[in-house]
Each structure stands twice: as C-alpha cells, then as structure tokens.
Structure 1
Amino acid sequence: MVAVSAADENIRTSELVRIQASVNHLPVFADYDINRMKEVSQTVFSLFEQEDGLDALFGLIRDNLPERLFETAYALACDVAAADGTITENENRMLEEIRYELSLDRLHAAAIERGARARHQT
C-alpha cells in the first residue's frame, strides 16, 4: 500500500487515511503491530531511492507474504491508488508491476481493479 501511494512521489492524505483505515479495521491485519507502520514506510522510501530497490521490495513482499494473500495485497494497493479519485500513470505502473510480481491472473486483477474503482467513485 505504501509503495503505491509513494509511486507518484506525492503521498496524499486520502491515501494515508485509506492505509490507516485498512490496517485498523481489516481482519488480515488483526495481528499486525501498528507501531511497525513507520518502519515499513521508511523501508519502502529507502528502497525507492536505490537502483534495484523495486526488485528488493518485491523480494521482501514475496518472502514475507503468504501466497494466499497476494490478491488481498493487490486489492489493498488498488484501494490506495483509487483513494484520491485519480490513478496516476506512476501508480498505474506500480499496480502493473505488483500484478506481474505476484503472478496475478489478469481477469482476477481486472475484477479487483473494478471493485476499487466502484468503491471510490464520486
């Protein structure tokens, strides 16, 4: 979620609110230590500054996220991207990269994207 928000180098309040709400309310984060948010964010920002940082980021994700949660992670990323009502070109590229790196089926990804778009429609 943080990577999608930071992808366009403009982290919006609506995106931060979406991340916070997701972490506070979704069952997938029931055992998550909220105090790790700052550390995770700093790690993402640090990796974005490195030449092969994106590869390293996806390596960390694949190593630490169970495969059964890949679609959930993508859905949350889509919600963050759509939170401000606009998906920038950089956010869209990040979503494409996430789809690829997590080997998500294109049809499933399209359904997830459509759901995010519907939830954040104004």
Structure 2
Amino acid sequence: MSDATQPLSPQDCLVALMIAVSVSDERVRTVELVKIDASVKMLPVFSGYDSDRVRAMSTLVFELFEQEDGLDALFGLIRDNLPERLFETAYALACDVAAADGTLQETELRLLEEIRYELNLDRLHAAAIERGARARHLTL
C-alpha cells in the first residue's frame, strides 16, 4: 500500500484541505506553501506528524482534482478520517492558506463555502474564523 492510499490520519486530512485550498485557483503560490509548511512545523495539532506525508497528500489532492467527482471524494475522505472536534481547526487552516497571499480568488471563496457546508460549521463560528484569518494576514 502506498503512502497516498493508506488510511488518512487526522493530520493528513488537515494537510489535504490546506493543499486543496492552495490549488483551488490553479496557481499554487509560494506564500501558500510556506503557510502550509509553517503550520505543519509549528502547530500542536501536527505534533509527531511526519512532514514527508505532505508530498503524499499533495499527490492525493492533485489526483482527486483530476477526477470529475474528486472534490466530493476528498470531502468523503475528510469526513471519514477527521474527528468532528477538528472541523473548526480544519476550516481555520483552510482560511489561513486562502488569506496567505493577501487576496481571495473566487474559486477559493467557493471552496471555503463548500468546506463550511461539508463540515457543517455554524455560520457565526465560521465568520469568526474568517475574521481571525483576515486579521492575521493584513499588511501595512
């Protein structure tokens, strides 16, 4: 069984969602990759996570996005492997990646909306998460 086909860990799910947001506009920006890397290296939720898995998750996301129902398949994997208590964390990480380059493309906004829906996030909680991401990524 290859790295990309073994069951996903909760951390794999978080990484896959961040990568999905980054590639949603078909342009993976360096600042987004840096945000993903920094999150994996610094956040407690990734404690003990093998950062080499990021490449496997990238491959998985790219392969899924090449399929017609790939986004639905990605959400299925996330619902199956990510504990509900990490849904808000997943959304916060996705928002951070989307905001990392200082602009939100329409495709990123649509994907964030879909993530909110698929993870059944309360709209008020999601708005607070979005506001925090925006505040963290403002420039002078």
**TM-score category of the 2 structures, normalised to the smaller one:** over 0.9
Give the structure 2 partner of residue 11 of structure 1.
28
Give the structure 2 partner of residue 95 of structure 1.
112
Give the structure 1 partner of residue 78 of structure 2.
61
- 1:14-55: CA deviations, max 9, x gaps? 000000000000000002111111000010011001011000
Give the helix-richer structure, 1 or 2.
1
1:49 corresponds to 2:66: yes
Task: Provide structure 1 residue ranges, at least 5 long, that are not aligned to the other structure.
Answer: none
Give the structure 2 partner of residue 23 of structure 1.
40
Q: Once superposed, what is the RMSD of the aligned Cα atoms? A: 0.5
Q: Secondary structure at the match of 1:33?
A: coil
Q: How does 1:69-108 map to 2 (within 5 A)?
A: 69-108=86-125
Task: Provide structure 2 residue ranges, at least 5 long, that are not aligned to the other structure.
Answer: 1-17
Q: Secondary structure at the match of 1:11?
A: coil
1:109 to 126, 129, 132: 126
> Partner letter of residue 100 of structure 2?
A
The 4+ residue runs of structure 1 with deviation greater than 2 A are none
Give the structure 2 partner of residue 2 of structure 1.
19
Give the structure 1 partner of residue 54 of structure 2.
37
The count of aligned residue pairs is 122
> Partner letter of residue 31 of structure 2?
S
- 1:71-114: CA deviations, max 9, x gaps? 00000000000000001000000100000000000000000000
User: For 2:132 and 2:70, how far apart are their aligned partners in 1?
Assistant: 30
User: For 1:68 and 1:44, how far apart are their aligned partners in 2?
Assistant: 23
